[in-house]
Amino acid sequence: MNNTVYYDSSVSDEQRRQLLFEGQLFVYSPRKSTLAFIEHARRLVAEAFAPLSPETAQYHMQVEQYAKILGKLKPSFIHHPESKVHLKAILNDFGCDLEKTYFDVPKMRSSTSDKYLTTGIAYAWHPHRDTWYAAPMCQLNWWIPIYDIQPTNAMAFHPQYWSAPVRNDSEKFNYYEWNKMRGPQLALKTKEDDRPLSKPTVPIEMDPQIRLLCPAGGLILFSAAQLHSSVPNSSGVTRFSIDFRTVNYDDALAKRGAPNIDSASTGTTMRDYLRATDLANLPDEIVELYDDGTSDRGAVVYRPAEFDEPAK
């Protein structure tokens, strides 16, 4: 197959979803809606690290203290009411039908330089497909850098694996069990990370790989089935980025999406998505299409209020 990167493409959302399901990548220049979102994110990041500069704060504090700051900053971004407003504006700006587009809450990620903190709250991602973590095959991932990125702190795609299965242990991953393990204890995992995160069980050929560099506020859009990883950050600055995922109602109903060539994860993230217009969940009939009878193994949805008790 060919790999095409569509740059500032004007194709419709429908065509774009189809191309993404075929393994193509889309990258967009910053727009008013994405710039407004990163400005909001930058404000929260700056407040959290003040008076230090967020991109270099890692060089001025103990890693435990740093993880504690991230442990507060990230949930505050996720649950900030303004975050959802920005997300809706972005989806509208990118031509999505808001009545049919469902999103999950936006996450803030950080990638510290020089292996300062690569576990827990700032996990450095090994090559993976999000579909190994119970994402449906129709899920799309949206990724926005909050500050300018470089080849040495970007995200890498491994498109030679789009149609080549990778042996992995995703059969051990159940989304409902995972929901029980999530929470504030992540900030305490500053040295090792023992969470059961689906991984390749064979060596991955890391090259050739694609690193897309868009300016801060630019957008990278890819299928949840795309194999991707964090580039080991050697840039000298911490990378901060935002990502969120979407599902289109028609795709979900028709079970349209990328081909599943190697994922065996169980459970489904379908209960997490919120309709862009009114934050309604996907209807039960849709969720049922993706449920696999494992809901008694844990929590079908992650409820931060239940788990995110402030550290005592």
Least gap, CB of 53 to Fe ion (angstroms): 27
Binding site for Fe ion (CB under 5 A): 130
Instruction: Point out which residues pair with 200 in neighbouring strands.
Output: 168
Of 41 and 140, which CB lies nearer to Fe ion in the complex structure? 140
Least gap, CB of 85 to Fe ion (angstroms): 25
Query: Which residue sits closest to Fe ion, CB atoms considered?
Result: 130
Of 56 and 260, which CB lies nearer to Fe ion in the complex structure? 260
Phi first, then psi: give them for residue 120, nearest 5 degrees: 50, -120
Least gap, CB of 70 to Fe ion (angstroms): 18
Cα 60 from Cα 62, distance rounded (Å): 7
Count Cβ neighbours within 10 Å for each residue of 124-159 and write b for 16 or more, e otherwise. beebbbbbbbbbbbbbbbbbbbbbebeeebbbbbbb
- Of 160, 157, 150, 163, which Cα lies nearest the Cα of 127? 157
Of 127 and 275, which CB lies nearer to Fe ion in the complex structure? 127
CB neighbourhood size of 280 (10 A): 11
Is the alpha carbon torsion for 5, 11, 12, 15 positive or negative?
Answer: negative
Of 157 and 249, which CB lies nearer to Fe ion in the complex structure? 157
Of 35 and 210, which CB lies nearer to Fe ion in the complex structure? 210
Least gap, CB of 127 to Fe ion (angstroms): 10
Least gap, CB of 228 to Fe ion (angstroms): 6
Of 66 and 157, which CB lies nearer to Fe ion in the complex structure? 157
Least gap, CB of 77 to Fe ion (angstroms): 18
DSSP letter assigned to residue 109: E
- 227 is written with which tokens? 């194999």
Cα 61 from Cα 63, distance rounded (Å): 6
Query: Cβ(27)–Cβ(217) under 8 Å?
Result: no
Query: Cβ(269)–Cβ(102) under 8 Å?
Result: no
Least gap, CB of 64 to Fe ion (angstroms): 26
Of 55 and 130, which CB lies nearer to Fe ion in the complex structure? 130
Of 49 and 157, which CB lies nearer to Fe ion in the complex structure? 157
Residues 6+ apart with CB under 8 A from 61: 52
Least gap, CB of 107 to Fe ion (angstroms): 10
Pairing of strands 25-28, 219-223: antiparallel
CA-based max dimension of the chain? 54
